[in-house]
Amino acid sequence: MANEYDVVVIGAGTGGYVAAIRAAQLGLKVAVVEKQKALGGTCLLWGCIPTKALLEHAHALKIVQHAKEWGISIGDAAAAINMPQVHDRKDKIVAGLTKGVEFLFKKNKIDWIKGTARLAGNGNVDVFNGDTQTLHARKDIIVATGSSPRGVPGIDIDHTRIITSDEAIHLKEVPKSIVIMGSGAVGVEFASIFHRFGSRVIVVELLPRLVPVEDEAISAELEKSFRKRGITCYTGAKVTGAKATVDGVDVQIQVGDGNTQALNVSYLLVATGRGPVTAGLNAEGVGLQMDRGYIKVDAEYRTSVPGISAIGDVITLGTPGHPQLAHVASAEGIIAAERIAGLETRPLNYDHVPGCTYCDPEIGSVGLTEREASEHGYDVRVGTFPFGVLGRAKMAGETEGFVKIVSDKATDAILGIHMIGARSTELVAEATVAVRLESTVDELIRTIHAHPTMAEAVGEAAHATHGAAIHI
């Protein structure tokens, strides 16, 4: 039968398309249903890739703004960003990558079925795209429908002045001013982008500190850096009202001391998190167990219905805090595909998931924070080393931040590594291997770190944990 496959994947985000490729590599006949005009999902179209492209533009502007210091002559005109050109370059990068996924589908003989999928029971998936067709999955259906921005009660997102990251990524102008609600990764990344581009930026965070999932020392360093460069940060504060006007938004903010501030800004960006996408999927209709809108799965991504799996942003493993990250969705996709193909799999260790926040300065972290380690009952020993004393940091003009190692004094085991500063999102790779391999601080000390690199801070933080940093 033409519409019969081993595996039907719903959604071509970083979870779905990676699962599809792995399943095809293992000899399965695979179809992917995707309703967007391009493959790649949130990550490629509205998330990781376009935001990081904008951040690279912000970094380029930062260098040009300091041209004199770098000995580069560009005349006396103030450096400014050209938004049409910025979008042009970003869109080319996105288009190149989505075409890359299309190429990989062809290479692996995966059928892209264009349209919106609905679970129809008994291994069937109905696809709507003008007409309706039904696909049948002999082995498994993988639901990878992802997430979308979540609103906040009392704030009407009009997608014009009161916006989400989906609109922020396409803003044709540099906002004169913007309030950013929420200081998770999305919030602080846009704060870094728009502030560098020239906007007045006000970040409002409900919890007592920025990037609340990070180690407290990282939050404090980011807030210090943001404040130094003129980004207003209200923590322990909340947006209590917002009304879009013709050319802006009237925003009420209840600040920490209980007082209310009224601001008129060009935009309000609601960056308070993302919720699962299951509308129209008929998930409950076919018997999937759900939890607060998320699809419940086991450690190998089986749902409550045999023959239906789910991965990525749309799932919950029953414990709070399933990370909504592209690399997590991909890793889950690979495990699901291998299990469906009959391979032995090992469950992911979610304590070993690296987190990267591409704000300026960047944040990279893996494993337990100092507070979490104490709460787990460890006799915590910490070592910190500042980037600022490193030759490489001075050359790059990127001297902010530090690396912090959290370890268990009794066994010397590394429990977590947290860093803030330039290139932390790259340096976290070493930290992830160290945590994944359950390394000790001593093993990290004995690992030679090349010179001159920012990675020397990781080695030195290990020395510092044993009270023996060389360069401080």
Ligand X SMILES: Cc1cc2nc3c(=O)[nH]c(=O)nc-3n(C[C@H](O)[C@H](O)[C@H](O)COP(=O)(O)OP(=O)(O)OC[C@H]3O[C@@H](n4cnc5c(N)ncnc54)[C@H](O)[C@@H]3O)c2cc1C
Q: Could you give the residue numbers annotated as active site?
A: 451
Is 432 an interacting residue with respect to ligand X (CB under 6 A)?
Answer: no
Is 186 an interacting residue with respect to ligand X (CB under 6 A)?
Answer: yes
Q: Give the DSSP letter of residue 387.
A: G
Q: Do 178 and 201 form a contact (C-beta atoms < 8 A)?
A: yes
Is 16 an interacting residue with respect to ligand X (CB under 6 A)?
Answer: yes
CA-to-CA separations, 468 to 402, 414, 457, 462, 472, in angstroms, rounded: 16, 17, 13, 9, 9
Nearer to ligand X, 36 or 447 (CB): 36
Q: Do 11 and 39 form a contact (C-beta atoms < 8 A)?
A: no
CA-to-CA separations, 423 to 248, 291, 387, in angstroms, rounded: 35, 37, 11
Nearer to ligand X, 186 or 415 (CB): 186
Largest CA distance in the chain: 70
Nearer to ligand X, 190 or 385 (CB): 190
**DSSP per residue, 188-202:** HHHHHHHHHHT-EEE
Q: Which stretch binds ligand X (CB under 6 A): 31-39, 131-139, 218-226, 453-461?
A: 31-39
Is 277 an interacting residue with respect to ligand X (CB under 6 A)?
Answer: yes
Nearer to ligand X, 42 or 424 (CB): 42
Is 41 an interacting residue with respect to ligand X (CB under 6 A)?
Answer: yes
Q: Which stretch binds ligand X (CB under 6 A): 138-146, 426-434, 445-453, 458-466?
A: 138-146
Is 335 an interacting residue with respect to ligand X (CB under 6 A)?
Answer: no
Is 144 an interacting residue with respect to ligand X (CB under 6 A)?
Answer: yes
Q: Do 463 and 470 form a contact (C-beta atoms < 8 A)?
A: yes
**Rounded-to-integer distance, Cα 44 and Cα 354, Å:** 19
**Among residues 313, 360, 362, 460, the one that binds ligand X under rule CB under 6 A:** 313
Structure tokens at 326: 């592209």
Is 324 an interacting residue with respect to ligand X (CB under 6 A)?
Answer: yes
Site for ligand X in 98-137 (CB under 6 A): 116-117
Q: How far is the CB of 197 from ligand X (least distance, A)?
A: 16
Is 177 an interacting residue with respect to ligand X (CB under 6 A)?
Answer: no
Could you tell me which residues come within 8 angstroms of residue 99 by beta carbon, excluding any fewer than 6 positions away? none
**Rounded-to-integer distance, Cα 28 and Cα 361, Å:** 44
Q: How far is the CB of 251 from ligand X (least distance, A)?
A: 21
Nearer to ligand X, 201 or 380 (CB): 201
**Among residues 61, 120, 146, 373, the one that binds ligand X under rule CB under 6 A:** 146
Q: Total number of residues binding ligand X (CB under 6 A)?
A: 37
Nearer to ligand X, 165 or 439 (CB): 165
Nearest to 438 by CA among 351, 370, 378: 351
Burial of 185 (0-12, 13-18, 19+ CB in 10 A): buried
Nearer to ligand X, 418 or 463 (CB): 418
Is 329 an interacting residue with respect to ligand X (CB under 6 A)?
Answer: yes
Is 282 an interacting residue with respect to ligand X (CB under 6 A)?
Answer: no
Q: How far is the CB of 416 from ligand X (least distance, A)?
A: 18
Is 94 an interacting residue with respect to ligand X (CB under 6 A)?
Answer: no
Strand order, beta sheet including 177-181: 162-163, 267-270, 177-181, 200-205, 232-235
**Among residues 98, 165, 177, 219, the one that binds ligand X under rule CB under 6 A:** 165
94: number of CA atoms within 13 Å, CB side? 26
Residues that bind ligand X (CB under 6 A): 10-16, 33-36, 41-43, 46-48, 51, 116-117, 144-147, 165, 186, 277, 280-281, 312-313, 324-327, 329, 358
